[in-house]
Structure 1
């Protein structure tokens, strides 16, 4: 059964399940599959690969399902033409994360798209609402990829209270099944945004080896830090760091980040070689704390249906949280 919330009404979708805009690997295949399942897929615009964005938005423009396009705000600000490319495809929403959305809000709204802003503090939420945000994503530190320090259990109710019903709030970070959706709705969220769970899906454009490593991970097999950003020579602004699976490269440099910076040219060169070769003992798999809950690589439709079915049973009292 559909789970209707203010989020589903606003986005015109059946289920309050969103797939995260994971850079490059959240391509049109995944976005379309999540949309066809009744959720809302968000294309991973990431750091701004122009040709890729043109190609993937063109595929979605002819889609019959609503979709979004997501950007790393501070990076997209250096290439504002990327936003124009995205808006030309007439997405239902643009999602901005990690930076001030105010310079882009008017263009997004004028084009007829909704503005989704991912936030990690109340100050960021205020900034987003001032920019005209229609939806807030409250992201906890358990999330894969980049984020900040507050836990999902902390930040979600805090942002729900801060928003005070002005806009729907979506929970992100450490969520992979119906228990997570049910729990977040009990705390006042209008839906959930999932990255790692959809990374390990058939339609995700991530490498098969990376997906297998997510499935093999257990609780505690991720780490948050700067090692992989330094190794890629991508200088992220504070307070954002990245959560990844622990691998040999992480073990080598944990606690030695200053030394890594001093040797960055040599390390980055070798890192690039190993990444291009698909060696995930070195290359990062950006995954969240929910990896320990993920054990298979199903189609995105099955993921959406499982989550919604479990949450519906829990919320209606037909299943308890432990049995989900």
Structure 2
């Protein structure tokens, strides 16, 4: 049986599964593959880099006739990035991290669905007030950037579901197999937005070494911190530290973030270490459910597997 929800009905997709628009990994090929597999692929356009978008948008637009969308970081873009994406006719635009209000009306005018990711109740109330078509409730188990003082997925999702009703909500954070999708539906969500699991697929933009690190990773080794953003000279707002696998700089600077931020020599040492190959070229963004990832399947096959696992999990729960 197919799992029909308000999310699948809204977008005309087969499965209540969406690809998290992860910058650096969710490129055109991965986005198109998720959509072809029956989910909603969301391109990880991040900060709206012009060259990256010019390369990846045509790949997804030509790679599937199914619905797909684009995701941006609200704090890092301007209206020009939105305009470039809308030229390709995405079915949805997702905004995360920061104030989305400067961009929502233009997205609506273009006829694209507005998806807003929230990490706390203040952001959730704003998303409702802005008329989001879908709200993503991100728990702290998620890989990559998220709220410093957020809540875990299990308690956060039903609160947002109740607050946002009847707007469909997607659960995000700590979901890496179909049992997690089933749990999201049981919490009242209309589906799941999944990130780390889709980084470990055949179509990911990640380097093979990073994908392999995710397959070998353990949830207990993940940590949410701003240290690597500071070391890399990233402009990410301090409100949103990032969950990654272990890294030498985390061990060396843990609890000394202010000192690192004030030490240009230490930040230069990070860049030098990357250039020499002594440090990984990028942090390995990974959520707490990384233990469940053991292979690198084609993304379309993974969508079908997740849906089948979710159906089986719900059927088992119904028999108890």
Q: Report the Cα offset of residue 219 of structure 1.
A: 2.6
Residue 56 (structure 2) pairs with residue 56 (structure 1): yes
Whether contact under 8 Å (2:2, 2:14) holds in the other structure is yes
Report the counterpart of residue 196 of structure 1 in structure 2: 196
- Distance in 2 separating the partners of 1:246 and 1:305: 31
For residue 292 of structure 1, give the secondary structure of its aligned residue in structure 2.
helix
- Distance in 1 separating the partners of 2:23 and 2:32: 16
Give the RMSD, CA atoms, in angstroms.
Answer: 1.9
Over residues 68-87 of structure 1, what are the superposed CA-to-partner deviations in whole Å (9 max), with x where a residue is unaligned? 100000101xx321110001
Report the counterpart of residue 165 of structure 2 in structure 1: 164
The two structures have a TM-score, normalised by structure 2, of: 0.94
- Distance in 2 separating the partners of 1:254 and 1:238: 15
- Distance in 2 separating the partners of 1:200 and 1:249: 24
Report the counterpart of residue 155 of structure 1 in structure 2: 156
Q: Where in structure 2 are there 5+ consecutive unaligned residues?
A: none
- Distance in 2 separating the partners of 1:296 and 1:174: 17
For residue 46 of structure 2, give the secondary structure of its aligned residue in structure 1.
coil
- Distance in 2 separating the partners of 1:37 and 1:186: 23
Say if 1:155 and 1:273 are closer, same or farther in 2 by CA, change over 3 A. Answer: same
Q: How does 1:1-324 map to 2 (within 5 A)?
A: 1-62=1-62, 63-76=64-77, 79-148=78-147, 149-165=150-166, 167-263=167-263, 265-275=264-274, 281=280, 283-317=282-316
For residue 316 of structure 1, give the secondary structure of its aligned residue in structure 2.
helix
Say if 1:210 and 1:320 are closer, same or farther in 2 by CA, change over 3 A. Answer: farther
Bigger mean CA offset, 238-247 vs 19-28 = 238-247
Say if 1:33 and 1:320 are closer, same or farther in 2 by CA, change over 3 A. Answer: farther
The two structures have a TM-score, normalised by structure 1, of: 0.93
Over residues 212-233 of structure 1, what are the superposed CA-to-partner deviations in whole Å (9 max), with x where a residue is unaligned? 1111112311000100110121
For residue 162 of structure 1, give the secondary structure of its aligned residue in structure 2.
helix
Bigger mean CA offset, 186-195 vs 266-275 = 266-275
Q: Report the Cα offset of residue 320 of structure 1.
A: 8.5
Q: Report the Cα offset of residue 61 of structure 1.
A: 2.5
For residue 301 of structure 1, give the secondary structure of its aligned residue in structure 2.
helix
Query: How many residue pairs are counted as aligned between the two chains?
Result: 317
